[in-house]
Amino acid sequence: MYLLLLPVDGSAEGQNELQRMIDEATPGDVLTIPSGHYTGPIVISKPITLKGNGEVVVQGNNLDVVVYIAADQVTLEGLTIEHQSKDKDTMAVLVEGDGHQLTGLTVQTDGYGIVLRDAHQSEITKNTIKGNAENERKDRQNGIDLFGSHDNVIKGNDISYVHDGVYLERSEDNDITDNTVTHSRYGYHLMFTEGTRLTENISEQNVTGAMVMGTRGTVVSHNQFRKQLKHVFAQGLLLYDVLHAEVHHNHIHANLVGIFIQDSQENKIYQNEVAANYIGVQMLNAKDNHIYENQFVANVVSAQAQHSSNNQVKENYWDNHMGLDLDGDERSDIPYRADPFFYTIVKDTPAFQIFFQAPGMTFLENILKSDTSLWLEDAAPRKHPVLDMDESSQSVSIGLLAFSALLLLFSMYIIYYGGKRKNET
Amino acid sequence: MDALTIMKNEIKLGFRNPWAYSFLGIFTLLSLSMLIIQSGPVSDLNQYTKTTGTLMNLILYLLPLMTLLLGALSITSEKEDGRWHLLSTYPLSSFSFIIGKYAGMFIVLTAIISFGFGLSGLIGSFLGQGLSLETLLWIFVFSMMLILLFLGLAVWIGAASKNRWQALTISVGVWFLLVLAWPILLIAVLSLFPYASIQPTLEILVFFNPAELVRIFVTLYLGGGHIFGPAYYEWIEWFHQPFGVLFLVAVSMLWVLGSVGLTIWKWERKRRHV
């Protein structure tokens, strides 16, 4: 377990100066670590506070764990932890016990970033965790990883180039808020959790923004899931086998699929802005969900659904819907329906996906209407958007102006040239 | 008399044809719809958006039909009106004649779409909404590709038809087959095939339909390739390589050269057998 290595810059006296300081401290001490390079592994087995004064780097080469917290009430603040390893299943920071505070850490890892195992009531805040960008996604590990850990707060962390940004499994009542995850596989990944609150986070350019699976009572609100595009399975938010979740006020922009809901029941999905995705919402075997007051704007396809007719879908705004409001209640009297035709064909034979948005396909959908009672239906869609769109206002583009003028001049010249009658041939 | 003269003449003839103006009107209306398609928040990662997707769809309905009709009728009318009879007494090769006609009609059609796009672009840039230069450029390239490929088909239909009615019927038939019926036809027929052969067949057939060829590859280079699903992952990646791009350029050129070449051959044969 204790693999001792020489200090990298040779300046630190002794074999492990930092560990010696910790061993000499008494519980409750606040240790201010002078700047410098220290080597791991570091084991903290008493409730103390470690504060970095200046640039404090704890380095580990091919260790299983660089910093191991094995007590309660430990505070780590302002340290840099560098974890280099050929084995991805190793950890920069392993946390056990309760009531910790890890804040302002900078973690560079080839394996896991911060791992919580049966650790409760801890706060993981304002840390920066970066994986190895040169490795493939599958050869990285999770930024923050919780297993069997309850009542923790994960707030304000900045995570990039890892496997999953924040991963929770069999953990209850955790708060994940105000974090940013980019360039990873999944931004936020919840597996079999209860009472997770995922709020005000950002996920950009991952395969999936938030992957929520097998959870109970999750809140997903005020998040921004954007630009999950560069992968064939990319999604903004995925709900799979999810019960009693509340998904609201999220901005789900420019993803391959905005929201994908599969085998999930009794969730409330409302007042989300789902915009500029290739497919706005996709539903498969979803039932008894309440989906209302969402805004579906500028998606290439607004909705695709199969076996999902038993949902309460109402009062959403669908920008591609040709509604008609006869009684002036701002709701269309013509329902919005998502045609399952193409989705069904593709489910059976994925190769036919090549006809996505083919003109013949759209034409066909309009002439072959199957039994609409089995379709996903919004009985009273809104006539006007619910929420204000923060639309990127485009300024007058000189390039556009010039190019358009050029096109127009060219066509005018040709038409004039063609139309004039002198010099007949 | 050479190809250049024929081309100039074709431009003049093209804009005395009332069809050209009605298509100009329809196409301008269509491109003005660019201004009302809500584009929403834009990602800097791709250009494939609702605006480009919808426009490509609309243009695919109209532009191939326009090109086929104008192109085929222009060639057939040369025969029917007897102008070719007159011209063939001059030392004018079938090669120069067809190349000239093709180039002339290409310019006429380009002028038509330029008018539509130019007008909407101008209005759009004053309103400051709706579309970006990149979108307009891509849609313009997309339309030019369609014109290039379908015009080849059009001149061939024109040369093969006996009269205007035949040219009209065949043009509409070809348009219906390639643009509207294509997916359902393939889905119906390929469902009878062994499952494993469906995707390879589709991948090959893409190159035999200019509408699909242009649609799929513009979507791909707009950054929307992943929408075709995991099944096409490697295929899509391959076409993002320089060799893939080169391959596509070659296929497109083969289409144009092949169809125009066949037309010239057909035209020449008729000339000798009149």
Task: Inform me whether the C-beta atom of residue B187 falls under 8 Å from chain A C-beta atoms.
Answer: yes
Q: Which of A227, A202, A197, A228 is nearest to A212 (CA)?
A: A197
Q: Which of A280, A184, A28, A287 is nearest to B53 (CA)?
A: A280
In chain B, residues 31-60 whose CB comes closer than 8 Å to chain A:
38-43, 45-46, 48-51, 53-54, 56-57, 60
Q: Which of A402, A358, A357, A415 is nearest to B113 (CA)?
A: A415
pLDDT of A92 over the 90 cut: yes
Query: What whole-number distance in Å separates Cα of residue A387 and Cα of residue A75?
Result: 42
Query: What whole-number distance in Å separates Cα of residue B67 and Cα of residue B172?
Result: 11
Q: Are A67 and A38 in contact (CB under 8 A)?
A: no
Give mean pLDDT, residues B112-117.
Answer: 93
Of B13, B111, B230, Cβ closest to residue A232: B230
pLDDT of A257 over the 90 cut: yes
Query: What whole-number distance in Å separates Cα of residue A98 and Cα of residue A187?
Result: 25
Per-residue pLDDT at A309:
82
pLDDT of B256 over the 60 cut: yes
Per-residue pLDDT at B226:
87
The alpha carbon of residue A44 is apart from the nearest alpha carbon of chain B, in Å, by 45
Please tell me whether residue A390 adopts helix, strand or coil conformation: coil
The alpha carbon of residue A165 is apart from the nearest alpha carbon of chain B, in Å, by 21
> In which band, very low, low, confident or very high, does the pLDDT at A9 lie, cut at 50, 70 and 90?
very low
Q: What percent of chain A has pLDDT over 90?
A: 62
> In which band, very low, low, confident or very high, does the pLDDT at A6 lie, cut at 50, 70 and 90?
very low
Query: What whole-number distance in Å separates Cα of residue A286 and Cα of residue B208?
Result: 40
Q: Which of A227-231, B23-27, B36-40, B66-70 has the lowest average pLDDT?
A: B36-40
Ranges of H-type helices in chain B: 3-14, 18-32, 50-80, 83-87, 94-127, 133-160, 164-175, 182-190, 195-205, 210-219, 233-240, 242-273
pLDDT of A373 over the 80 cut: no
Pairing of strands A251-253, A144-147: unpaired
Extract the tokens encoding A157: 């962390």
Instruction: For residue B128, give the DSSP letter.
Output: T
Of A241-255, A362-376, B118-132, B217-231, which has the strongest mean pLDDT?
A: A241-255
Instruction: Specify which residues A198 forms β-bridges with.
Output: A176, A220
Residues of B in contact with A359 (CB under 8 A): 57, 60-61, 179-180, 211, 215
Q: Give the mutation candidate from A415, A417, A421, A425 for the B interface (greatest B CB count, under 10 A).
A: A415
Query: What whole-number distance in Å separates Cα of residue B161 and Cα of residue A119?
Result: 81
Residues of A in contact with B213 (CB under 8 A): none
Per-residue pLDDT at B135:
82
Give mean pLDDT, residues A125-136.
Answer: 94
Q: What percent of chain A has pLDDT over 70?
A: 92
pLDDT of A14 over the 50 cut: no
Mean pLDDT over all residues of chain A?
88
pLDDT tens column, A320-339: 887 788 888 888 888 888 88
The alpha carbon of residue B194 is apart from the nearest alpha carbon of chain A, in Å, by 11
Q: Using the structure block, give the residue that is written with the tokens 């191939």.
A: B64
Q: Are A203 and A227 in contact (CB under 8 A)?
A: no
Query: What whole-number distance in Å separates Cα of residue A392 and Cα of residue B39?
Result: 10
In chain B, residues 86-115 whose CB comes closer than 8 Å to chain A:
107-108, 110-112, 114-115
Residues of B in contact with A401 (CB under 8 A): 121-122, 125
Per-residue pLDDT at A4:
43
Q: Are A213 and A245 in contact (CB under 8 A)?
A: no
Searching chain A, which residue's CA lies closest to the CA of residue B116?
Answer: A408
Of the options 2.30.42.10, 1.20.1270.360, 3.30.70.20, 2.160.20.10, the CATH number for the domain spanning A1-184: 2.160.20.10
Per-residue pLDDT at B152:
94
pLDDT of A394 over the 90 cut: no
Put simply, the answer to whether A359 touches B60 (Cβ < 8 Å) is yes
pLDDT of A7 over the 50 cut: no
In chain B, residues 143-162 whose CB comes closer than 8 Å to chain A:
none
Q: Which of B186, B157, B183 is nearest to B172 (CA)?
A: B157
Of B15, B122, B140, Cβ closest to residue A405: B122
Q: How far is CA B269 from the centre of its chain?
A: 27
Q: Where are the beta strands (DSSP E) in A324-384?
A: 336-338, 376-378
Check residue A195 and give left, alpha or beta (phi > 0: left; psi -120 to 50: alpha): left
The alpha carbon of residue A311 is apart from the nearest alpha carbon of chain B, in Å, by 26
Q: Which of A328, A291, A325 is nearest to A309 (CA)?
A: A291
Residues of B in contact with A272 (CB under 8 A): none
pLDDT of A345 over the 60 cut: yes
Helices (runs of H) and strands (runs of E) counted in chain A: 4, 38
Burial B117-148 (b: 16+ CB within 10 A, else e): bbbbbbbbbeeeebbbbebbbbbbebbbbbbb
Q: Which of B250, B176, B182, B260 is nearest to B215 (CA)?
A: B182
Q: What percent of chain B has pLDDT over 90?
A: 49
pLDDT of A398 over the 50 cut: yes
The domain segmentation of chain A, as residue ranges, is 1-184, 187-390
Per-residue pLDDT at A2:
42
Q: Give the mutation candidate from A257, A344, A404 for the B interface (greatest B CB count, under 10 A).
A: A404
pLDDT tens column, B7-51: 888 888 888 888 888 999 999 998 888 777 766 666 666 678 888
Please tell me whether residue A363 adopts helix, strand or coil conformation: helix
pLDDT of A13 over the 50 cut: no
Put simply, the answer to whether A352 touches B120 (Cβ < 8 Å) is no
Per-residue pLDDT at A115:
96
Which one-letter amino acid corresponds to residue B49? Answer: T
Q: Based on the structure, what is the number of domains in chain B?
A: 1
Q: Are B186 and B202 in contact (CB under 8 A)?
A: yes
Backbone angles phi, psi at A56, to 5 degrees: -105, 115
Residue span of the structural domain in which B28 resides: 3-273
Residues of B in contact with A389 (CB under 8 A): 40-41
Backbone angles phi, psi at A141, to 5 degrees: -120, 180
Mean pLDDT over all residues of chain B?
88
Give mean pLDDT, residues B170-183.
Answer: 95
Which one-letter amino acid corresponds to residue B124? Answer: G
The alpha carbon of residue A386 is apart from the nearest alpha carbon of chain B, in Å, by 14
Instruction: For residue B220, give the DSSP letter.
Output: I
> In which band, very low, low, confident or very high, does the pLDDT at A388 lie, cut at 50, 70 and 90?
low
Which residues make Cβ contacts (< 8 Å) with residue B251, sequence separation at least 6? B207, B213
- Provide the sign of the torsion angle of the four alpha carbons B86, B92, B95, B101, taken in this order: negative
Residue B180: exposed, middle, or buried by beta-carbon count in 10 A (0-12, 13-18, 19+)? buried
Instruction: With both helix axes pointing from N to C terminus, report the angle between B3-14 and B94-127 in degrees, rounded to the nearest 10.
Output: 50
Q: Give the mutation candidate from A207, A394, A412, A417 for the B interface (greatest B CB count, under 10 A).
A: A394
Query: What whole-number distance in Å separates Cα of residue B140 and Cα of residue B56?
Result: 10
Give mean pLDDT, residues A151-180.
Answer: 96
Per-residue pLDDT at A389:
56
Give mean pLDDT, residues B93-98.
Answer: 89
Query: What whole-number distance in Å separates Cα of residue A311 and Cα of residue A305?
Result: 11
